[in-house]
Chain A
Amino acid sequence: MSAAPRTLLDKIWERHAVVEREDGRTLLYVDRHLIHDGSRRAFEVLGERNLPVSRPDRTFGTPDHYVPTTSRDIAAIDESDRRQMVEAIGRNAAAHGITVFGLDDPRQGIIHVVGPEQGISQPGMVLVCGDSHTSTHGALGALAFGIGASEVSHVLATQTLWQSKPKAMRIAVEGKLAAGVGAKDVILAIIARIGAGGAVGHAVEYAGSAIRGLSMEGRLTVCNMSIEAGARAGMIAPDDSTIAYLRGRPYAPKGAQWDQAVAFWRSLPSDPGARFDREVTLDAAEIAPMMTWGTSPEDAAAITGRVPDPAAIADPERRAAMIKALDYMGLAPGTALDGIKVDRVFIGSCTNSRIEDLRLAAKIAKGRKVTATVHAMVVPGSGLVKRQAEAEGLDRIFTDAGFEWRHAGCSMCVGMNGDLVAPGARSASTSNRNFVGRQGPGARTHLVSPAMAAAAAVTGAFTDVRKLLQG
């Protein structure tokens, strides 16, 4: 008789357990550790304790949070404390023998775009990074999660982490997505359904025909925002799409090792009958283009909907939170979402800055003009995405329409590099967080897909992108 059916999570977890304690803590081995320009503090801790990096060969990085998007010159960063963050990763990489794609390297970009693009992120791995959106890499069938600075120094020093095994949750999206509806709408619909804390303590495995039907880039978008539902990790079982995506990438296995790796990857999907602690199912056909109206990613609704009315909420604390959110967002209850005016449009971030995202946005922008009152910009996820987009002429479509075409980085998702939304300005953003002040103090962020962001730019207001796809 064979062993009990196991989930993808079980299979990866068991292969990486170095020490298991009776109290449930497991010392987990880390296959790949990604670092960025926010990792400075962790290296300081190593320095203070005079510890070497345990496995520099398993560590990869690129500066992304603090890099300018107007120039590739470190010296052009006008604030010295920002410049020092970017310089520190280069210095630490050189000192410890770590591979880092610097600003002068076309492979530089947002770490969660670069990892999959280079084939550094692979199925069956435990992969960590000092950034909450590390859940992105789970799209390849890895267990990937974000960690804090203390844990980054722990991984640098030991290549391991103490963890408690998360519970397993399966979110199935079944059926066919409608035209104009994509991966971003799927994940916003999931978060609206289960809540910003709906998956706390769980690793989510996304499944179902609509998920399997997504491209790898779409899957990366879905897994990216797992953390916005509170999940420890998001993951999708490797399949033909995953293997085709990885083939030939610079850090993917080669030759006989490729065949060996593929055989291993094929063994990873959850066994039939594997038990999940929680299961949720969504009907793909019911998902419309989505946008957020409040200050949490769970405050998402179909573009055909209206700003909700706090008076209809029974729970007094929830009602108070909604009143506060609508006050911050400058929105009256009952307002139709379609038609709300925008000031800024940002197409970029680890959620939506890959080539397919830019193609979707360019399809809407082509032959149209950004509304005169709107400032719109496109920030590719990596130097290689930028190069590919330019080879396809997408940059010309964007600049002809009046978008700014920038260099790769995290940019206006979090504004650490100075790309900020002005106080009170309303932003249509393809990023992942509509938190109070996320894109700058007083900034009013609405999360949307790349196509919806482009539609907002060319119409000057949130618009059901399906109207622009007709004819």
Chain B
Amino acid sequence: MEPFIRLDAVAAPMPVPNVDTDQIIPARFLRKSRKDGYGQYLFCDLRFEADGSKKPGFVLNEAPYRGARILVADKNFGCGSSREHAVYALWDYGFRAVIAPSFGDIFFGNSFKNGFLPIVLPAEATAALRGAIQRQPGARMIVDLENQQVVDPDGCSHRFEIDAYRKHCLLNGIDELDFTLARKAAIEAFERSHSKTTPWL
């Protein structure tokens, strides 16, 4: 997994609540191979007309936000389906972090498995960040994971909280599966006693 340490990048605003994973990547693309990249499918029905032309007015179709790597969204971002493809699509497009007041739980968990950072900031702070990048299209923001802060285009910093284990894994690019496989003996010992209490399973 690619480590996440610090990001200095263009941020794009998405002032819409409840952006579900069906909008992030519609179901019809889930059987496509990752090898071809999912970036082309990101927000597909919001970004493109049925004939494939770009929808005017959608944020990622506006020149200043091209190359954005930070998304500033609204509450309950990534709700709905468990499809990890939602994270793959954001990643393959170029996004590395998303800031929102709250997230769908499964999307939130999936993000960390892919080196992608979901940041929870209060609703007022995210609204202010969206306002700042709407007033200054193409403005850059800094996400500093080590110090747990987001620096907005005006230089103001906003501290965010993150679970220490997840921070450690992101900073060091640690693959969780290797981490768990190293605890195989503990799992096997647990299984032996667990089977005794629920022998019917």
A binding-site residues for B, Cβ under 8 Å: 15-16, 18-19, 21, 23-25, 27, 29, 31-32, 38, 41, 49, 51, 58, 66, 81-82, 84-85, 122, 124-125, 130-132, 145-151, 153-154, 157-160, 162, 164, 166, 196-197, 200-201, 227, 230-232, 253-254, 257-258, 260-261, 264, 296, 298, 317-318, 320-321, 324, 414-416, 423, 433, 435-438, 441
Contacts and interface: CB of A to CB of B under 8 A. Distances in A.
B187 A158 contact: yes
Interface stretch (B2-10, B14-22, B90-98, B137-145): B14-22
Contacts of B87: 148
Interface stretch (B63-71, B106-114, B152-160): B106-114
Nearest to B180: A158
B23 A230 contact: no
A24 B50 CA distance: 47
A84 B33 CA distance: 12
Interface of B: 15-18, 20, 22-23, 26-28, 30-32, 34, 45, 50, 74-76, 79-84, 87, 102-106, 109-110, 113-114, 127, 163-165, 176-177, 180-181, 183-184, 186-187, 190-191, 194, 197-201
A317 B200 contact: no
Given A150-B114, A196-B18, 20 more contacts: A18-B183, A27-B180, A29-B194, A31-B201, A148-B106, A149-B110, A150-B84, A153-B177, A158-B180, A158-B181, A197-B18, A197-B102, A230-B79, A231-B105, A258-B200, A317-B74, A321-B16, A416-B30, A435-B23, A437-B45
Contacts of A435: 20, 22-23, 80
Nearest to B23: A436
B31 A66 contact: yes
Nearest to A257: B200
22 contacts: A15-B194, A18-B187, A19-B186, A23-B165, A32-B201, A38-B30, A81-B32, A82-B31, A148-B84, A154-B176, A158-B184, A200-B102, A201-B105, A254-B200, A258-B200, A317-B127, A318-B17, A321-B18, A324-B16, A437-B45, A438-B22, A441-B50
Contact of A148 (B27, B113, B177): B113
A443 to B, nearest CB: 11
B82 A131 contact: yes
Contact of A162 (B17, B27, B75, B180): B180
B26 A150 contact: no
Contacts, number: 176
A432 to B, nearest CB: 9
A162 B165 contact: yes
Contacts of A66: 31
A181 B165 CA distance: 46
Given A132-B80, A232-B105, A260-B199, A25 B17 contact: no
Contacts of A260: 199-200
A321 B187 contact: no
A197 B100 CA distance: 12
Given A18-B190, A197-B75, A148 B110 contact: yes
